[in-house]
A and B are shown apart, each in its own frame.
Chain A
Amino acid sequence: MDSAQKPLELILARNLITSLSTPAFLVGEDGALLFYNEAAGALLGMSFEESGRMAAHEWLATFGPFDEFGQPIAVDDLPLTRSLRDGRPAHAEFCIRSTKGTEHSIEASALPIVGAGSASSGAMIIFWPVDEQERRRVATAT
């Protein structure tokens, strides 16, 4: 695993999400998982201290983003990938599976992190668990 000094913008992003009670991920420019906060660990069933850093294919396989029909979501369609690829924010709703087997519907927003030299350093992904009952109520009402 690459252990070179991280660019300042990634260091500051990590410091920021450490302080958030909203679940959040930090990935490098290659999509590798660099860090997630305690709130994300609670949702994923495993703390970052337990999981450590993971290559993109590892964490995708571990937490398995899938759609409402249980089908895996193509990597290219994930907000994270779109954000890294396009250098734009991206948002989507999908499901993940914790290491304890619990499934969670989430909304996720990915923000590209671009440093002072205009080079992409990675992305920050913040996600919100979707309340299933509330979603059904809204769907019924509309």
Chain B
Amino acid sequence: MKLTVWGARGSVPAPGPEMNRYGGNTSCVELTLSDGETLILDAGTGIRNLGVKLAASMPKINILLTHLHLDHIQGLMFFPPCFQADSKITIWGPSSPEATLENRIARYISAPLSPVEVRELPCEVSFRDAPVTEWEIGSATIRAEAVTHRGPTLGYRISDGDETLCYIPDHEPALGAPLDDLEPEWISGHDLACGADMLLHDCQYTDEEYPAHVGWGHSRLTDTLTFARRVETERLMLFHHDPLHSDAFLDSFADTAAQRWEQLGGDPQKLELAAERSAAEVSSAGLAAARP
């Protein structure tokens, strides 16, 4: 599998010259499977640039939404394939007893927030609740599980051959529970991420920032690293950067994270911060970074 990050920012887009290297677009990751099919993880503003690339060549598209907070769906309305009649788009997301996935997304893609309605999109679009059991798309086997965040939120485990990626961009597994002491079955997302070759995980806050944001649904560095060690992931990519964190800040944060990761027994070469337009190969023998 090959992944490309199109948006790694959390909460709200953060454009600006001081954000150029890590990028200001919100969550979106392109995953190219071994059979050539593409999965899109989340539809934050990063999906717009991805869509420009895909528009001419990708009539069949699967988008896996972790949840429906705006930073994960805002790009949908600006995703070029949505406006192509020959596009077939399937959007997967968390179920809710309150309304269908389509109706919940339509609250955004409808007046007065949007100039178009879902039913007016020229593409063929369908909405599917993520199944409670594993399912397959192309060469990938996908599992979705609810994880600790605010509102119904999924994490995804995607296996392709013997390679496994786990994507949990919004997650606060340590809320009210010290991760060091818990048995694995009591850790949100543990089974989903256990033994994954690569884990993309929320790390929005520094340890110093976190006390003012407890319960907001995101992780601090210590908890992200502890979670990654508990699930014994091969490689860790820190994701969902706080919109206030500039490139310079994130560079420093990356150094701190690498040192802490090494202290916990991890390989600092196998930890990185997600950066927009960066690409990487997920492999069962570890991950070879391949920045463009």
Contacts and interface: CB of A to CB of B under 8 A. Distances in A.
Interface residues of B, number: 21
Contacts of A42: none
Main SS of chain A's interface residues?
loop
B191 A5 contact: yes
B175 interface: yes
Contacts, number: 43
A115 B177 CA distance: 20
A116 B191 CA distance: 18
Among B132, B147, B176, the most chain A Cβ lie within 10 Å of the Cβ of: B176
B96 to A, nearest CB: 8
A8 B97 CA distance: 16
Given A5-B191, A116-B95, A18 B177 contact: yes
Given A5-B191, A15-B177, A116 B146 contact: yes
B185 interface: yes
B152 interface: yes
B183 A3 contact: yes
Contacts of A92: none
B185 A5 contact: yes
B148 interface: yes
B186 A14 contact: yes
A14 B152 CA distance: 18
Contacts of B177: 11, 14-15, 18
Contacts of B190: 5
B186 A6 contact: yes
A18 B188 CA distance: 15
B185 A15 contact: no
B185 A6 contact: yes
Contacts of B185: 3-6
B106 to A, nearest CB: 21
Interface in B58-99: 94-97
Nearest to B190: A5
A14 B176 CA distance: 9
The range of chain A's interface size is 10 to 19
Contacts of B183: 3
A15 B152 contact: no
A99 interface: no
Interface string A1-20: 00111111001101110110
Nearest to A119: B132
Nearest to A8: B146
Contacts of A4: 185, 191
Interface string B250-278: 00000000000000000000000000000
Interface in B163-194: 175-177, 183-188, 190-191
A8 B188 contact: yes
Interface string A64-84: 000000000000000000000
Given A3-B183, A15-B175, A116-B95, A8 B191 contact: no
A39 to B, nearest CB: 15
B232 to A, nearest CB: 15
A63 to B, nearest CB: 22
Contacts of A16: 176
A117 B132 contact: yes
Contacts of B152: 116
Interface in B139-164: 145-148, 152
A12 B97 contact: no
Given A19-B176, A116-B95, A117-B132, A12 B148 contact: yes
Contacts of B175: 15
A18 B177 CA distance: 8
B132 A11 contact: no
B176 A15 contact: yes
Interface of A: 3-8, 11-12, 14-16, 18-19, 115-118
10 contacts: A4-B191, A8-B146, A11-B148, A11-B186, A11-B188, A16-B176, A18-B176, A115-B146, A116-B97, A117-B132
